[in-house]
Chains A and B, each alone.
Chain A
Amino acid sequence: MQSHGLEELEYQHGGLLVRLKKASSARPAEIRAYAEPGPVRLAIPPVAETPSTAAASAPDGQADSLHTIKSPIVGTFYSAPSPEAEPFVTVGASVDVGQVLCIIEAMKLMNEIESDVAGEVVRIHVENGKPVEYGAPLFDIRPRK
């Protein structure tokens, strides 16, 4: 588990169920209430999206100052801690360093994605429940001075 960076592993075969959990202070809340995502079609990205092109797509023209949070893993994007709860953040929200912005579910594990800057959420790139790949832009944040 260590060498593959796994926090939790559940393995079932026949009558055997093995569950291994790594003791970790940053364990995200478990959520089982979501429906399984349906078959997904991910478009092949046409051109490598560099940080500058992502920032330049911001509507208000303050391209240089935007910081884009990108997905560090492949998984499914969830904007709220549970289906009934309010989203972690909305456009216009003020966030601090370390604040949880969303959850990305991968292999049944919920990974909390934290902001690495303090500022204002200017754009949310992904809809709730949609799949994301490594490097997919998630949030544009205008850093606070």
Chain B
Amino acid sequence: MFKKILIANRGEIALRVLCACKELGIRTVAVYSEADRHALHVRFADEAICIGPPRSSDSYLNIPQVISAAEIADVDAIHPGYGFLSENANFAEVCEASHITFIGPSPAVIRMMGEKDRARAEMAAAGLPIIPGSDGVVPDETAAADAAAEIGFPLMIKAAEGGGGRGMRIVRNEKELLPAFHTARAEAEQAFGSPNVYFEKLIERPRHIEFQVLGDRHGNVIHLGERECSLQRRHQKVLEESPSTVVDDATRKRMGSQVVDALKKVGYSSAGTVEFLRDSSGELYFIEMNARIQVEHPVTEMVTGVDLVKSQIRLAAGERMKDVIPAVKFHGHAIECRINAEDPEKFTPSPGRITAFRVPGGPGVRVDTAAYADAVIPPYYDSLIAKLIAYGDDRAEAIARVHRALDEFVVEGIKTTIPLHKRIITHPDFVSGNFDTHSLERMFESQKKRN
């Protein structure tokens, strides 16, 4: 087992990793920028090293500084958390070259999963379903007709060289195909200098379902069920839960085992999340994989009783999966609210000094946060200040608990998205479990209209 671990991160995830290390009897080294001098991860670690000025690129993303800190503190391993250097294959390689264990997958696997097209190709080859598409550029009308016949309708025409909606067209039937094909090509040429387009099946009302996985260094991989992460704003997750109301036991077993098989084939180790889009008929399509521990990992921890971060550390130290997690059982329901330092209606950031901070407790409530009364939330990093997780025997109890916990969560001095979460969890679409990745935007639209 490692004697000392350096945590290459900040905020709530640095504290989370600190927890796991302390419980395993491992000494901890925190690194921090000048803006985080009074941060809790600095205060609670055994050792702390300042690695740079406030900007991430000069500090938390500065590989030489992080590695140098690891060397002078003589650590055995580095835990990269999420974001920052957690999916930087270069960093993982430099760790290896410096004889420091990088707590995560191998550099080759990180690189594979980081190149999204390649990840899709490898996962498809390994047996996971991917969104039916043209598999490359559709050059002419004949190819267009062939591709449409294979993919089916509705389909999406997308520009190969750019995004942002330009060169994009929805095609609902054969009659619309060729006119849309030509218009999309013209638009793409205008916007990106290339008329190249490809086709993809259109998933309407998609739901974002992701599977948590863990792998040891001996080829064993397990899954720990799914999380429902459809409630998003501008592709940022706002609220997550496990299990998903639309995934039954049979689907969980089937998809879980497909995921495990695919990841064994590519030699995956450590924690990771396999993301799918679910269409209205219930089909799941692989979109990408995050080769790291994720923000929303606590909901899986609550419903399985597994400490994912401790498991990551033990597996990175060489322990076998059967000794770390002999079996996975699911019980109950968990919901996580990401609380950001933002205006709950305008979403503008709200950094500054917290003047009052009272965290809810009681049965089934967990709060992961690095904030505290009198803390200054710096403007240099992301706006997540706390994760409120509620667990219950069933979804109704989890909802009741998260509702009461939101009422009891006091944060003053800065604006937070607590009011937003109260609106979400009382919204009929959320309560009914009937929502998709566009629902949150629709909830705001109707709110705006009411105002």
Residues of A within 8 A of B (CB): 4-6, 9-13, 37-42, 44-45, 48, 73-76, 106-107, 131, 133-136
Nearest-neighbour CB distance to chain A for B405, whole angstroms, equals 32
Stretch at the interface among B46-54, B120-128, B268-276, B294-302: B46-54
Residues of A within 8 A of B53 (CB): 134
Taking a contact as CB atoms under 8 Å apart, the answer to whether A10 and B37 are in contact is no
Known: A11-B93, A44-B42, A133-B50. A75 touches B68 (CB 8 A): yes
Stretch at the interface among B69-77, B139-147, B425-433: B69-77
B34 at the A interface (CB under 8 A): yes
Taking a contact as CB atoms under 8 Å apart, the answer to whether B64 and A134 are in contact is no
Query: Which of A37, A48, A76, A134 interacts with B65 by CB under 8 Å?
Result: A134
Known: A4-B64, A48-B37, A74-B65. A107 touches B72 (CB 8 A): no
* Closest 10 pairs between A and B when the two form their complex, measured CB to CB: A131-B72, A106-B68, A74-B68, A133-B50, A39-B74, A11-B97, A133-B49, A44-B48, A134-B50, A74-B69
Main secondary structure of the interface of A (DSSP, over half): loop
Besides the contacts A11-B93, A74-B50, what 5 more A-B pairs have beta carbons closer than 8 Å? Answer: A11-B94, A107-B71, A134-B50, A134-B59, A135-B50
Residues of B within 8 A of A10 (CB): 97
Taking a contact as CB atoms under 8 Å apart, the answer to whether A133 and B96 are in contact is no
How distant is the Cα of A24 from the Cα of B48 in the complex, in angstroms?
A: 32
| Pairs A–B under 8 Å by Cβ, sample size 26 | A4-B90, A6-B64, A11-B97, A13-B97, A38-B74, A40-B72, A40-B74, A42-B48, A42-B72, A44-B45, A44-B48, A48-B34, A48-B37, A73-B68, A74-B49, A74-B51, A74-B65, A76-B72, A106-B65, A106-B71, A107-B67, A131-B72, A133-B49, A134-B50, A134-B53, A134-B65
Taking a contact as CB atoms under 8 Å apart, the answer to whether B50 and A73 are in contact is no
Question: Quick one: closest B residue to A7, CB to CB?
Answer: B64
Residues of A within 8 A of B98 (CB): 107
B contacts with A, residue count (CB < 8 A): 31
Question: Quick one: closest A residue to B90, CB to CB?
Answer: A4
Nearest-neighbour CB distance to chain A for B65, whole angstroms, equals 5
Residues of A within 8 A of B72 (CB): 37, 40, 42, 74-76, 131
Residues of B within 8 A of A136 (CB): 50
How distant is the Cα of A12 from the Cα of B94 in the complex, in angstroms?
A: 10
Taking a contact as CB atoms under 8 Å apart, the answer to whether A134 and B73 are in contact is no
Nearest-neighbour CB distance to chain B for A136, whole angstroms, equals 8
How distant is the Cα of A133 from the Cα of B73 in the complex, in angstroms?
A: 11
Residues of B within 8 A of A38 (CB): 74
Residues of B within 8 A of A73 (CB): 64-65, 68
How distant is the Cα of A13 from the Cα of B157 in the complex, in angstroms?
A: 45
Question: Quick one: closest A residue to B71, CB to CB?
Answer: A107
Residues of A within 8 A of B62 (CB): 4-5
B96-155 at interface with A (beta carbon < 8 Å): 96-98
Question: Quick one: closest A residue to B99, CB to CB?
Answer: A12
Question: Quick one: closest A residue to B31, CB to CB?
Answer: A74
B247-299 at interface with A (beta carbon < 8 Å): none
Residue of A6, A12, A45, A76 with highest tally of chain B CB at under 10 A: A45
Question: Quick one: closest B residue to A4, CB to CB?
Answer: B63
Residues of A within 8 A of B90 (CB): 4
Nearest-neighbour CB distance to chain B for A10, whole angstroms, equals 7
B22 at the A interface (CB under 8 A): no
Question: Quick one: closest A residue to B49, CB to CB?
Answer: A133
B233 at the A interface (CB under 8 A): no
Taking a contact as CB atoms under 8 Å apart, the answer to whether B64 and A5 are in contact is yes
Residues of B within 8 A of A133 (CB): 49-51, 69
B218 at the A interface (CB under 8 A): no
Residues of B within 8 A of A48 (CB): 34, 37-38
How distant is the Cα of A131 from the Cα of B75 in the complex, in angstroms?
A: 14
How distant is the Cα of A131 from the Cα of B69 in the complex, in angstroms?
A: 9
Taking a contact as CB atoms under 8 Å apart, the answer to whether B48 and A134 are in contact is no
Residues of A within 8 A of B74 (CB): 37-40
Query: Which of B37, B51, B59, B68 interacts with A45 by CB under 8 Å?
Result: B37
How distant is the Cα of A40 from the Cα of B52 in the complex, in angstroms?
A: 19
Taking a contact as CB atoms under 8 Å apart, the answer to whether B96 and A45 are in contact is no
Known: A74-B51, A76-B72, A107-B71. A13 touches B96 (CB 8 A): yes
Question: Quick one: closest A residue to B98, CB to CB?
Answer: A107
Residues of A within 8 A of B59 (CB): 134
Question: Quick one: closest A residue to B58, CB to CB?
Answer: A134
B442 at the A interface (CB under 8 A): no
